[in-house]
Amino acid sequence: MSGLIGRKIGMTSIFDENGKNIPCTVIEAGPCVVTQVRTKEVDGYTALQLGFDDKAEKHATKASQGHFKKAGSAPKKLVAEFKEFKKEYQLGESVSIDIFVEGEYVDVTGTSKGKGFQGVVKRHGFGGVGQATHGQHNRLRAPGSIGASSYPSRVFKGMRMAGRMGNQKTTIQNLQVLKVIQDKNLLILKGCVPGHKNAYVTIHK
């Protein structure tokens, strides 16, 4: 679907017309530059490649410098492809936040916060094993049995165990657009989106 690349500014809350306090996320969305136009004849599908946030030329490879020069743009930190734009855009054109309207719903994709190595209670929501009585004192947050011994004599793939948590590509669906502030390129969405402050996200209509 069509959309934009943006940056998560942070969370706040606003009041609706009924006086209800709604938690929301502020995203700086665009403007994005069209860095490549995919066509059915050449690529087998139609899409637009958008670039967001300028990058110093010394940090860009020669190949990427040439790629962005075709679009008449400075090198970008992030590029992403979007399909099904209603309007036709040309190479080098800018796509702004006005493609969104208040009240519609969007999907937001980003990288979740990394939590490091975590146990099964935090990572998977286990309740812990056993009781604190009967002389047992140090197994409250343990995972318990991870498989039978004689058969199948192995641990099944996908067994929920302790390990690294977070830092994964995550999509939150059906977030309502509460406000579109065009002069500041700000999008206010109901609820939370993945990632830390200033993390890059893609917003899909």
36 vs 1 pLDDT, higher one? 36
pLDDT reading at 138 higher than 80: no
Region 123-131: what's the mean pLDDT?
A: 83
Nearest to 187 by CA among 51, 82, 76, 30: 30
Q: What is the mean pLDDT of the chain?
A: 91
Instruction: Map out the domains of the chain as residue ranges.
Output: 3-118+167-204, 119-165
Strands (DSSP E) contained in 46-168 are: 47-54, 76-82, 94-95, 105-111, 116-118, 163-165
Region 114-118: what's the mean pLDDT?
A: 97
pLDDT at 130: 66
* Residues linked to residue 3 through DSSP beta bridges, in sequence order: 204
pLDDT at 187: 94
Tokens of 95: 């796509």
pLDDT reading at 74 higher than 70: yes
pLDDT at 144: 86
**Contact (Cβ atoms closer than 8 angstroms) between residue 73 and residue 92:** yes
Tokens of 40: 């059915």
pLDDT reading at 199 higher than 80: yes
Other CB atoms within 10 A of residue 22 CB: 14
pLDDT reading at 88 higher than 90: no
Render the burial of 136-167: b for 16+ CB within 10 Å, e for the rest: eeeeeeebeeeeeeeeeeeeeeeeeebeebee
Q: What is the number of alpha carbons within 13 Å of residue 151 lying toward its C-beta?
A: 0
161-193 pLDDT, tens digit per residue, is: 999 999 999 999 999 999 999 999 999 999 999
Can you give the pTM of this predicted structure? 0.84
Binned at pLDDT 50, 70 and 90, residue 87 comes out as confident
Fold of 3-118+167-204: Elongation Factor Tu (Ef-tu); domain 3 (2.40.30)
